Amino acid sequence: MTNINKTVVVGMSGGVDSSVAAYLLQKQGYKVQGLFMQNWQNEPGEVCTSEVDFQDASKICDQLNIPLHKANFSNEYWDRVFKEFLSEHEKGRTPNPDILCNREIKFKSFLDYAVKIGADHIATGHYAKIENRDNQFILKRSKDLNKDQTYFLHEVKGKDFAKCIFPLEDLSKLEVREIAENNNFINHDKKDSVGICFIGERNLRDFLKRFIKFQTGDIKDQDGNKVGNHPGALLFTQGQRQGLNVGGVKDKPELPWYVFDKSIELNEVYVCQGEFNDLLMSQGLIMEEMKWINPTIAPKKLDCEVQVRHRGKAVKCVANFNDNNVKIDFSESIRAIAPGQSAVLYKNNECLGGGIIAKALKD
């Protein structure tokens, strides 16, 4: 096998995806090693899911007879991910720390660490595909479009994909679980991790109260009438339904309420009724600086597709690249666009890159 003398270090999370990735690489003839990343330092007495994940990763590595390293990147995570996460929240925006974590930790700290311990390649359990096109490393969608994770990887530079392998690129989640079950992996039916890694099972508000001061304020409808109270406008995002506790409003139908906007200056949250109320719909957006996966001379205009959330529908659009931002016009309306989240551009299933949403555009 051509891979027989190549060492690959797999980021082992304790989950089924990274476990199967390690197994597949071993079957392909690579010398496989595992690395467990500790990215958050819990307070004494806190429930720590990472310890359970580490035990699961250890058991899989023992079963595969491969070594498992453990690296503590919590300082790097605090400085390069968490501080930005807090800063964005304080501005009233909705950040996505998973995107920062991939850019700053998994494809910088982890990559550097793996190279130091002798890796020729690194690998993760991401559902994504890398294509070498004339020595330029292109990020493409995985076969399983429902699990595709290129949205989370769009801030990683192409050059940082040069040493990376995504063994799950052509597998569905069902196939991955079947491989794990057929090999008696203890985590074959383990639930996928959801939410923000450092918050875990905790309530977001309770967690953020340790770092940010919140003030109660008014919830108002589209006509400016007060319909409720909130514990802090910073906590709410466009399209949110949970946690509003608005109901039984006089002269209003018994329909769910959704956040369509908020004012940090006035500490007010604005809500409307109906999941697809016009106030929730946008026809375009303004994106901050475009971060290309493979930097190129930016076109003035590009026909492509835009995706504004993980598992969100990719919509055809026209992107106009200006001196200090990108204006994106959609071919169809998109619901609940949240400033601070990322807009990611695609063409022919290739992920081109993306940027932070500054504001949504409405008719």
Annotated binding site: 11-18, 37, 125
Strands 281-287 and 315-321: unpaired
Catalytic residue among 61, 164, 197, 317: 197
Residue 325 burial by Cβ neighbours in a 10 Å radius (0-12, 13-18, 19+): middle
- Assess whether 101 carries a catalytic annotation: yes
Q: How far apart are CA 317 and CA 328, in angstroms?
A: 7
Query: Reduced to 3 states, what is the DSSP secondary structure of residue 98?
Result: helix
Q: Which residues pair with 325 in a beta bridge?
A: none
**Which one from 101, 164, 317, 351 is the annotated catalytic residue?**
101
Q: What residues form the annotated binding site for ATP?
A: 11-18, 37, 125
End-to-end CA distance of the chain: 59
- Other CB atoms closer than 10 Å to residue 259's CB: what's the count? 24
Q: Give yes or no: 351 in active site.
A: no
CA dist list (Å): 179 to 24, 167, 186, 258: 9, 13, 12, 41
Please give the sequence-ordered ranges of beta strands (E in DSSP) within 141-204, or none if there are none: 164-165
Just list the catalytic residues. 101, 197
